[in-house]
Chains A and B, each alone.
Chain A
């Protein structure tokens, strides 16, 4: 298995590029930046294909991603937006309910955007990407303890902030 092999590289790209893209989206809250950095990271990886071992390729990708972020202009206020998949049973609810739900979603998105960067990354990697704490810890070179702490604090923050909006 040689990373400089085109086929191997394509496999690596297909396996990890979405995860990396999401992580970068959670960081910037900006699709264009996330897309550019993802591409730059993989070009850099290709450039260094002879020196990188396949074993720790995952955490290497995220490290490259973090380094690339530093090169990108200090991003404006993070504004994360999600694609919402409304289940069919929601549609039969009353319009009032739907309006209330929409309002709640907006508040939640706002609160997520206001989270500390580190907490936001970890929280969304877990809740949106459905990654295990262990997996996130490996990718970001952090301890599982740190991941758990960030998860806890993120959820506390989100609840208190949405509550404040309610008032």
Chain B
């Protein structure tokens, strides 16, 4: 027999008393009605302690569960790995800076060398250096690069990509010059790219490849600073860094370039070498403070 529910319908008022009477007969209807009527006056025995206060006292002792969404553990694990990686990367980050009048030679793990001149900075990461030799640089320095993975130098004025070679970077003020002594380097600056070979140089003012007419070797590096067609203010910035002096001009000549080399160990000689060709002389005002005046004065 199919499940019947007419009594459920009757109790909910969907079937009237008369309809039910017809279905089940008067006697049965009356006993159903008596049950329902009796129940209508009944209620559940009262609760002894229904107040919220007694529950609140116990709630204070309950420790609330923390919300742990599905991916929490994964997120925690990922965070640990990330923090560890970042930490490892940070630990291996190397920054070498030379102060005024301070030279440094950096031996890199692949046999490459950096000759850092005063007031210059290089920055690289020991961990990633094995994979890609990327170096951030500022100031003046010579790179002697061993063969191996691509070697890249990035400065604010340009980038240099090399294979095995020796080259000099001059990145001061807004001036940027790369001189190649050995091998080949690729220089990028603004929207230009130049490939220069040994004994060639390029700067971001002329944007032309020019021959380098001087020799570079480690002995010369230690006693002379060498320039070729370099803005005087850039040379002066180097000079100030090398000797830890301040140089001011009574009348700064515009758009003049210096070619040649000056001693990095004898200040008197260096000042003469740099300024005489421009009919200028350096006058000592006080210790480490020089003023550049015209020769005629």
Chain A residues in the interface with B (C-beta under 8 A): 4, 6, 9-10, 13-14, 17-18, 21-22, 25, 31, 35, 39, 42-43, 46-51, 81-87, 104-105, 108, 126-128, 132-133, 145, 147-149, 151-152, 155-156, 158-159, 162-163
Contact = CB atoms under 8 A, between A and B. Distances in A.
A47 B46 contact: no
Given A35-B49, A149-B3, A46 B59 contact: yes
Contacts of A49: 64
A86 B11 CA distance: 22
B58 interface: yes
B55 A43 contact: yes
Contacts of B35: 108, 155, 158-159, 162
Contact of B64 (A46, A87, A155): A46
Nearest to A42: B55
A124 to B, nearest CB: 8
Contacts of A149: 3, 5, 8
Nearest to B53: A10
Interface stretch (B36-44, B108-116, B212-220, B245-253): B36-44
B277 interface: no
B7 interface: yes
A159 B39 contact: no
Interface string B21-49: 00000001001101110111111111111
A116 to B, nearest CB: 15
Interface of B: 3-9, 11-12, 28, 31-32, 34-36, 38-50, 52, 55-56, 58-59, 62-67
B66 A50 contact: yes
A82 B47 contact: no
Nearest to A23: B44
Contacts of A25: 44-45
B3 to A, nearest CB: 5
A25 B47 CA distance: 10
A125 B42 CA distance: 12
B41 A86 contact: yes
A76 B50 CA distance: 25
A50 B43 CA distance: 35
Nearest to B9: A148
Contacts of B31: 159, 162-163
Contacts of A4: 64
Given A43-B55, A50-B67, A127 B39 contact: yes
The 5 A-B residue pairs with the shortest CB-CB distance in the complex, in nearest-first order: A151-B8, A148-B8, A82-B42, A148-B5, A152-B7
Given A31-B45, A127-B11, A155-B11, 18 more contacts: A4-B64, A14-B52, A17-B50, A46-B64, A47-B62, A82-B44, A83-B45, A85-B42, A104-B38, A127-B36, A127-B40, A128-B39, A147-B8, A151-B5, A152-B3, A152-B7, A162-B31, A162-B35
8 contacts: A10-B56, A83-B46, A85-B42, A128-B44, A145-B5, A148-B8, A151-B7, A155-B35
Given A13-B52, A159-B32, A152 B47 contact: no
A17 B51 CA distance: 10
A51 B49 CA distance: 28
Nearest to A87: B41
B69 to A, nearest CB: 9
Contacts of B52: 10, 13-14
Contacts of B46: 83
